[in-house]
Amino acid sequence: MFNLTATVKAWRAQDPDPATAAALDELVTRAAAGDVAAIAELTSAFSAPLAFGTAGLRGPLGPGPARMNRVVVAQAAAGLAAYLIDTGNSDAPVLIGYDARHNSAIFARDTAEILAGAGLKALLCPGPLPTPVVAFGIRHLGCAAAVVVTASHNPASDNGYKVYAADGCQIVAPIDTEIATRIAAAAARPLFEIPRSQGYQLIGDELVDAYVARAASLVPVGAAKQAAWVYTALHGVGAATVDAVVSAAGFRPPQHVAAQNAPDPDFPSLAFPNPEEPGAIDSAIQLARQTGAELAIANDPDADRCAVAVPIAGQWRMLTGDELGVLLADDLLRRGVTGTYACSVVSGTLLSELACAYGQPHATTLTGFKWIGRVPDLAFGYEEAIGYCTDPAAVADKDGITALVRILTLASALKANGLTIADRLDELAIRYGVYRTSQLAFRVGQLEVIDTAMARLRATPPTTLGGQSVATVDLADGWNGLPPTNALAFIGGAVRVIVRPSGTEPKLKCYLQVHAERSADLVAARRATAETLAEVTTGITAALGW
């Protein structure tokens, strides 16, 4: 039977971090005095361990097995080491990278010491680096695995532990459960029994230099490079690497949003450090207006995602993830890049039309680059949550920096011909019809709220959305060859809606698409799709009961 007092006491005895130990002491004192919030936090933090899955670990910082802290990270590192040894992968090195969040450097060093203590060759990055640089390093350095300590675009109170396999992709089942089993075994032993060593290797500048050279090489010889642009790192780790890549490629340097350029784990100017959140890139857009720039580009804090804003019909706005994905794919197709063009099931469907038009195969995967990155003969992959794999031969993951290089190349080429990103979007709409996509994200305090909403949708699904009849497809049963996943699709006519829980945040997400057939009157077609999309938004919100 679970004994909260005994569990807390045992945890406190082995915690090596004075900060979390002090935080736990304060919680215990408050709980003993009857503080309801403290009792709830203790119960939440100690009732069950933080689940290790295909996204690794991610959660709030704090004491307890359900939080991110040095004890949990040490157990995860020990579990990973045991997995690599047990599966005969102990000869190749393991790369450890980290971002600039609270405790990231400490968690990364702990990981390096524990991997080295297990007899593995641990390579520790010299400082905070973008996640794509580490993903690049897996193949470049011939690694058996990699760890990136990051919570990506989550709030400042969170951190995470992302694990990659030797193929450069994030782990998938059954690797996650095999590592989780070994993590549980490590957690069953006293922490001091996990061996440590200072025998890890601190890598130098060669990894970043190699990544910069590769990213710069994506720009075609003789390409135009005169796009004027603004950049924000959103208080993350992208700026230094972006500047190095841009300089090596020969593009005009950006105007930086100075207040957001240096890494800051508190993200002081942002409610949420996610470019998708309303208002997150407002500072970049404002600077772009002031300086006469043609586009504003943002990376999320670990620089694996990329957001772009441009002026359209006289108004600045951020491109949707689907719009940017289609622009990048179309540019590659025009340049004759062959292979499979892939996107996640929640992304828009225009990519399949593009690939077909150029005689290239298209693939749909489950959400996440652990699936997209493993598509055979991948030429380009994206998901609507502003993640883009634009150089899969080198980085089998989303990469916000090479996506930035690709969009600068496209914007500069268009500018050299007197055109803009908006002009290219018009051209695509005339050729393929108007595809209007949007996302609704409902942030919740308790995950049970999401479970209740999904159950309600399954029990009483909508039969019409946007004035069109829709059929329900439960992706829990699998769909079009995809493995089962917890999602629902509502499809009919020109309407497509997919609803699923987020895999990394306490959110329920709805992915909406409305399509209008080809028309010379883009104004009318866009007005009609906007009206239908508004109706679909109202309808799915009502069906959720929110």
Instruction: Say if residue 502's pLDDT is above 90.
Output: no
* C-alpha–C-alpha distance, residues 193 and 187, integer Å: 10
**pLDDT digit string, tens, across residues 309-327:** 999 999 999 999 999 999 9
pLDDT value at residue 2 = 62
Instruction: Please state, as a whole number, how many other Cβ atoms lie within 10 Å of the Cβ of residue 529.
Output: 22
Q: The sheet that has 507-516: what strands, in order across it?
A: 434-443, 507-516, 495-501, 488-492, 471-474
**pLDDT digit string, tens, across residues 143-168:** 999 999 999 999 999 999 999 999 99
To the query of whether residue 438 is one of the catalytic residues in this protein, the response is: no
pLDDT-above-70 percentage for the chain: 100
pLDDT value at residue 444 = 86
Delineate the domains of the chain, giving CATH numbers in brackets.
53-203 (3.40.120.10), 225-431 (3.40.120.10), 433-544 (3.30.310.50)
**pLDDT digit string, tens, across residues 76-105:** 999 999 999 999 999 999 999 999 999 999
Read off the pTM.
0.95
* C-alpha–C-alpha distance, residues 123 and 464, integer Å: 55
8 A C-beta contact, residue 516 and residue 529: yes
- Reduced to 3 states, what is the DSSP secondary structure of residue 411? helix
**pLDDT digit string, tens, across residues 202-241:** 999 999 999 999 999 999 999 999 999 999 999 999 999 9
Task: Identify whether 174 is preceded by a cis peptide bond (ω within 30 of 0).
Answer: yes
Instruction: Say if residue 508's pLDDT is above 90.
Output: yes
- Residue positions counted in the chain: 546
* Angle subtended at Cα 270 by Cα 266 and Cα 276, rounded to the nearest 5 degrees: 120
- Reduced to 3 states, what is the DSSP secondary structure of residue 442? strand
8 A C-beta contact, residue 58 and residue 153: no
Please, which pLDDT band fits residue 448 given cuts at 50, 70 and 90? Answer: confident
- Sign, CA dihedral 262-263-267-268, equals negative
pLDDT value at residue 503 = 77
Least confident of 68-77, 424-433, 482-491, 498-507: 498-507
Q: How far is CA 446 from CA 153, 338, 442, 449, in A?
A: 20, 45, 12, 6
**pLDDT digit string, tens, across residues 15-62:** 999 999 999 999 999 999 999 999 999 999 999 999 998 889 999 999
Give the DSSP H/E element, type plus range, for residue 209. helix 206-216
Q: What is the four-CA torsion angle of 84, 89, 93, 98, rounded to 10 degrees? A: -30
pLDDT value at residue 29 = 95
pLDDT value at residue 446 = 81
pLDDT value at residue 1 = 43
Catalytic residue among 47, 90, 152, 412, which? 152
pLDDT value at residue 52 = 93
pLDDT value at residue 504 = 73
Q: How high does pLDDT run on average in the chain? A: 96
